[in-house]
């Protein structure tokens, strides 16, 4: 089982702003064609990003999935090709134990940088990154890990 959820309104107020209309209106990530691998994440608010500028963006989203799965966040191809926008960490890796962590409920943030020589404007509701779920493997020498996630990164 895997899916996306909105963070609680209380967490939204902490991480974004106290705006119930915005909270009620933003969309959960979705696939937008039959064979799409990625779930588009939609911007909560308008963004203007100047050349070289970096911005951290709240998504208002958390996700749950199986313990042997990972959620990768990747800039949509068209965004990278057309505008030269990239994730600061290139590919974001969201682990299963990030969901509902004690620090921020597993709220997924993205951090982007404008690598172009033009100002980048994106409207609220536009898709900027996509999330792809994948299974992963572990090694035979892996220890039985009992450690719990205690931070939001």
Domain boundaries along the sequence of the chain: 3-135
**Could you tell me which of 33, 106, 110 has the C-alpha nearest to residue 79?**
110
pTM as predicted: 0.91
3-135 domain in CATH 3.40.50.620?
no
CA–CA gap between residue 126 and residue 123 (Å, rounded): 6
Task: Give Cβ neighbours of residue 96 (< 8 Å, ≥ 6 apart).
Answer: 64, 65, 66, 67, 68, 69, 70
Q: Provide the residue-wise pLDDT of the chain in tens; the chain has 153 residues.
A: 999 999 999 999 999 999 999 999 999 999 999 999 999 999 999 999 999 999 999 999 999 999 999 999 999 988 888 899 999 999 999 999 999 999 999 999 999 999 999 999 999 999 999 999 999 998 988 876 666 656 655
**Mind giving me the DSSP string for 53-102?**
-EEEEE--EEEE--TTEEEEEEE-HHHHHHH-EEETTSSEEEEGGGTT-T
CB 85 within 8 A of CB 151: no
């Amino acid at each position: 089982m895997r899916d996306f959820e909105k963070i609680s309104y209380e967490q939204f107020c902490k991480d974004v702003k106290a705006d119930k209309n915005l909270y009620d209106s933003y969309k959960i990530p979705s696939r937008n064609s039959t064979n799409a691998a990625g779930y588009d994440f939609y911007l909560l608010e308008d963004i203007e990003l100047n050349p070289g500028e970096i911005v951290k963006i709240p998504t208002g989203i958390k996700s749950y999935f199986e313990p042997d799965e990972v959620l990768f966040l990747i800039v949509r191809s068209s965004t990278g090709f057309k505008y030269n926008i990239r994730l600061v960490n290139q590919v974001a890796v969201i682990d299963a134990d990030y969901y509902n962590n004690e620090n921020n409920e597993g709220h997924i943030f993205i951090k982007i940088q404008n690598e172009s020589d033009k100002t980048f404007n994106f409207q609220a509701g536009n898709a900027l990154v996509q999330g792809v779920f994948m299974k992963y493997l572990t090694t035979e020498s892996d220890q039985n890990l009992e450690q719990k996630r205690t931070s939001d990164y």
